[in-house]
Amino acid sequence: MKPNNINKLITEKMNLSQISGGNNMVAAKYDDFMQSIVDKIKTNDLETLKKAIYNMIETGELEQVSGNFYKYKNFHILELLERDGIDYSNKLKTLDKLHLGITQNYIETLENNKRIFIITQIPGTEKENLVPLWKIGIQNVPKENRLAAFHDLQKLTKAGLIDDKVVRSNERWFVNSDNKIIIPNFEYLRPINKNEPQKEIIEQYYNILFK
């Protein structure tokens, strides 16, 4: 099936409101514990905050996904140095305006002593972490979920944006507990150059999803 036929199927079979996602579609509501974390980031000095985070990890209330990446239910907290944090936060805000279901849902960015804490939600991770797509196998992802991902990536491309790591392979592609494709990391998001045909970029996504 060619990309043009895929587009027709998307129009016929997919309800765009169900696959748009994004922070504007999903109003984040912190529970008491998540709100307490946000309050600590806002008010505690960095040393006190670090101790609080360590204690929450020790008690199992907060999961340390990686060194500077923490998880509570489907809320994720990424800690970065100020320059990197501001840059990546701006990229997430740009993605959020597109209402893409395949990305993290951006919530807010907090600053504490030249450290940036970016809070997002990742759908389908409340009880389980994301699993790399290469482990699941693209053929084991339902076709309708691949169509939804393809639609989002078309939308990203038509907005004039690309991430070199995302377009070249499925290394940064994941699957959540609902068997939907999630691409949480758009670290290398940039404008598409004039010498990069959008059709070829879309074909690269098509090849990952349907071949």
What is the model's pLDDT at position 2?
A: 53
Question: Mean pLDDT, 10 residues at a time, over the chain (211 residues)?
Answer: 50 36 50 95 95 97 95 97 95 96 95 95 94 96 97 98 96 96 96 96 97 87
What is the model's pLDDT at position 1?
A: 52
Helix axes 46-58, 32-43, angle to 10 degrees: 150
What is the model's pLDDT at position 211?
A: 87
Element (DSSP H or E) covering residue 69: strand 69-72
Coil, strand or helix at 111: strand
What is the model's pLDDT at position 141?
A: 97
d(CA 109, CA 127): 24
What is the model's pLDDT at position 3?
A: 52
Q: Please name each of the domains of the chain with its CATH number.
A: 3-15+129-210 (1.10.510), 32-121 (3.30.200)
In this structure, the strands spanning 63-66 and 131-132 are: unpaired
What is the model's pLDDT at position 15?
A: 38
Whether 119 contacts 76, CB under 8 Å: yes
What is the model's pLDDT at position 28?
A: 55
Token pair, residue 140, equals: 């084991």
The single-letter DSSP state of residue 138 is G
Alpha-helix residue ranges (DSSP H) falling in the chain: 3-13, 16-19, 32-43, 46-58, 82-96, 133-136, 143-158, 164-168, 198-210
